[in-house]
């Protein structure tokens, strides 16, 4: 059961970060993605150099496709690390802690 829950948790995290990648991309490029952004977009915006959106520290926005690619690569790399076997030392440590060995 734990494995199923873990997978579901990871699925939810994946959904969250993928959604945020898109939202960030839209936000950083100055395009509206929702009611809050639309509200912000309706405000007069001071254009500094004609390319940078507010909140980007003067950087030009990253293209949405690039932002999503970065997100995918990051999650792939991180997933690989998440799947690495846990060394026995941690199980022993937790046993020790539970018995009051280091508390």
48 binds another protein, rule: CB under 8 A: no
45 binds another protein, rule: CB under 8 A: no
86 binds another protein, rule: CB under 8 A: yes
- For another protein, which residue of 20, 36, 38, 39 counts as binding (CB under 8 A)? 20
Pairs from 28-37 (Cβ < 8 Å, separation ≥ 24): 28/53, 28/55, 28/56, 28/61, 28/62, 28/67, 29/53, 29/61, 29/62, 29/63, 29/64, 30/54, 30/61
Interface residue list for another protein (CB under 8 A): 2, 6, 12-14, 16-17, 20-21, 24, 28-29, 51, 55-57, 59-67, 69-71, 73-78, 80-84, 86-87, 89-91, 93-94, 97-98, 102-103
């Amino acid at each position: 059961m734990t494995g199923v829950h873990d997978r579901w948790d990871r699925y939810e995290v994946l959904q969250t970060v993928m959604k945020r990648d898109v939202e960030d991309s839209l936000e950083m490029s100055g395009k509206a993605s929702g009611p809050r952004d639309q509200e912000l977009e309706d405000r007069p915006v001071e254009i500094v150099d004609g390319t940078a959106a507010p909140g980007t520290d003067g950087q030009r926005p990253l293209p949405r496709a690039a932002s999503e690619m970065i997100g995918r690569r990051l999650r792939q790399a991180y997933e690989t690390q998440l799947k690495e076997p846990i060394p026995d030392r941690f199980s022993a440590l937790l046993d020790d802690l539970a018995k009051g060995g280091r508390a």
